[in-house]
Structure 1
């Protein structure tokens, strides 16, 4: 279960790059790394389930939340890609 999130609210021109990096790392990259490491074990078992918790921001945007919205949109794409790639292995 990938269920992590953090938020920072600021206009784009004032958004600290270190906050961008931290939010992308926690909200998106961590789900990739966790899933990547779990998949070989699930394939060996012949099945598995990967759950990624996002938010309404995986489908829509809000002002002043550029990193959070970007990460959650990315998470939606990540989980759709995993579903297509892993369905033949009984991993959903």
Structure 2
């Protein structure tokens, strides 16, 4: 869900997004991400892409009026129950 991974799916197209980290006190951040091709091992080498993301905390910049994208640090410790991108159960969920 992080913009860094969105940038990897569309090289050379910058991604700006407001993200919100879940938890008891949700925090918002402004992010900028970009992906660029890197030099591979010669002309016949595999395609290599490199991505970078800048994360600016709310309060240090004015957040644009974008709906925040809910994100987490890791599925195992993310408190969001209805995440469409969950890859493994959370140890914080009820029933464990």
Greater percentage in helix: 1
The structure having more radius of gyration, on CA atoms, is 2
Greater relative CO (CA pairs within 8 A, separation 6+): 1
TM-score band by shorter chain is under 0.3
Return the TM-score normalized by structure 2. 0.23
Q: Whose strand proportion is higher, 1 or 2?
A: 2
